Amino acid sequence: MTLAELLAGHPDIARRTAQRHIAKLIDSGRITARGEGRARRYFDVSPQTGADAPADGADGFPRHIPLSADSVDVLAYIDQPPEARTPVGYQPDFLEAYRPNETWYLSASLRRQLHKMGRTADVDKPAGTYSRAILNRLLVDLSWASSHLEGNTYSRLDTRALIEHGKAARGKAAIETQMILNHKTAIELLVENIEATELNRYTLMNLHSALAENLLPNPADEGRIRQHAVDIGKSVYRPLSTPQQIEHALDALLGKVTQIRDPFEQSFFMMVHLPYLQPFADINKRTSRLAANLPLFRANLCPLTFLDVPEQAYSRATLGVYEMTRVELLRDLYVWAYERSTQEYLAIKQDLAEPDPLRLLWRDLIKQTIHEVITHPTADPLGCIQRITGERVPEQQQPDVQALIVEELRRLHEGVLARYGLRPSEYLAWKVVQGR
C-alpha cells in the first residue's frame, strides 16, 4: 500500500505519527519499502499462509531480489492464472517506439551503477582482453547457469568436469550433456572472435546454430529464421508466425541495437527484444543471454553469468515483457544478477596469472598448427610443428613457440577440441595412429 492508502484506512492517525510507526516497522524487518516519492509502497514481509501469501520459494519470485513498485505491479499481473490474463500478440510499436541513445530502459543512474560494479582493470585494453583472461572460469559458470535456467540438472562440478576434461556426468540425459557442450562452443565462438564480432545477423545465426546443435527436432532449424508458428509455455503471448514478418522485425531490431552506445543498455536491449521476437524455432532465450554478454566482452566489463538466478524469477520477468511489454521486472532482475556476477569475477580476477605474452602473440598460429597436426594423423607431429614455425615465426622465437605448441599438444583432450576447430572423431583417429 501507499502512505495515502494507509492514512485513508486510519483517518484518526496523523501523517507524521504514521510515518514514525512505518519507520519502526521497517527497522524491525516487519515491512519493506519500495519506490520513491508518491510511488513509494509498503509491503508486509511477516510470515503468511493461504491464498494471501506472497509468491516465493520454488514456484514464486524470491523476496531477496529487490523490486521497484512498477515491478511489483508486473508481478501481480503475471502471477494470475493464464485464463485471467489477456491473450496478446506481437506488438510492433514496442520496438518502433525505441530510439537508440534517446530512449533508455536503464536510467542514467542505473547505468552508472552498473559501470561502477562491472569495471575491470582491463577496461582500456583491446576488446576481449578481460573475457579471454577469465575464459576457463567463464565457460563453466555461464554454461552451467544458462543451462540451469532451462531445467538442466548438471551440477556446477559436473559442468566443470565435462568442459575441462570431456567427462559426461553419470545418470544425466544426453540432451543435458549436449546443452552444456553447446554453450561452451557458443561462448568460445564469441570470445575467440571478439574483434570481428558484432550484434548482427551473422553473429546471431551462428550463435543460435552453436547453441542448437543436435537439440532441435528439425536440424534445418539450427541457425535459421523460424518457419512456423510457436506457442510460449504458460503464457498467453503469441509471437509473429510468418517468416517474412520475423525477418522484417529482426532487421529492425538489429538496426537499433547496433546504434546503442552504452554496453549495458545494448546488453539489456537484447535480453528484452530477442526473446520477445522469438526469431528461432527454439533456444531464443539462451541465444539472448549469450548475445547480451557480447557488449560486455567487447568493453572489458565483468560478464553477466546468471549465477544464482532462480528459474522462476527469470521466467516471470520474461513473461512481463511478453504479455505486457513491460521491462521493469526483467530490469530489476538484470541489475541484481549482474551484481552477483561481479562479486564473483572481481574476486577471482585478483588470483589470475597474467597471460603468457608469447602465447598471446602467437595464439592463432598455435591453434592452426594443432589443427594441422591432428587432421594429418600420419604426418610426423614434430616435423609439422617445425615446418610451420619455420615459415612464419622469427628465427629467435622459434624454439620457444615450438615448445608452447608441443606443450599444448601434450595437454590436448576432448574438452578443448572446439578451441582448435576439431571434432572428436578427428582427435580419436589421430590418437589411434599415434598410438596414444
Where on the phi/psi map is residue 425: left (φ > 0), alpha (ψ -120 to 50), or beta?
A: alpha
Find out whether 282 is annotated in a ligand binding site: yes
Q: What is the DSSP string of 298-349?
A: HTTPPP---TT--HHHHHHHHHHHHHH---HHHHHHHHHHHHHHHHHHHHHG
CB 281 within 8 A of CB 221: yes
CB 41 within 8 A of CB 33: yes
Find out whether 287 is annotated in a ligand binding site: yes
Find out whether 160 is annotated in a ligand binding site: no
Find out whether 177 is annotated in a ligand binding site: no
The three three-digit cell numbers of residue 414, written as one number = 576432448
Q: Give the end-to-end CA distance of the chain in Å, rounded to a whole number.
A: 70
Find out whether 349 is annotated in a ligand binding site: no
CA 421 to chain centre: 23
The three three-digit cell numbers of residue 27, written as one number = 527497522
- Give every CB contact of residue 25 below 8 A, 6+ residues apart in sequence: 31
Q: Which of 225, 131, 144, 240 is nearest to 183 (CA)?
A: 144
Rounded Cα distance, 209 and 287, in Å: 9
Length of the chain: 436
Find out whether 101 is annotated in a ligand binding site: no
The three three-digit cell numbers of residue 51, written as one number = 491464498
The three three-digit cell numbers of residue 99, written as one number = 530510439
The three three-digit cell numbers of residue 119, written as one number = 569495471
Q: What SS3 state is found at 88? A: strand
Q: State how far the alpha carbon of 404 is from the alpha carbons of 251, 357, 372, 400, 407, in Å.
A: 44, 12, 15, 6, 5
Biggest CA-to-CA distance, the chain? 93
Find out whether 24 is annotated in a ligand binding site: no
Find out whether 15 is annotated in a ligand binding site: no
Rounded Cα distance, 83 and 260, in Å: 38
Q: Give the residue ranges of the annotated binding site.
A: 282-289
Q: Give the residue ranges of the annotated binding site for ATP.
A: 282-289
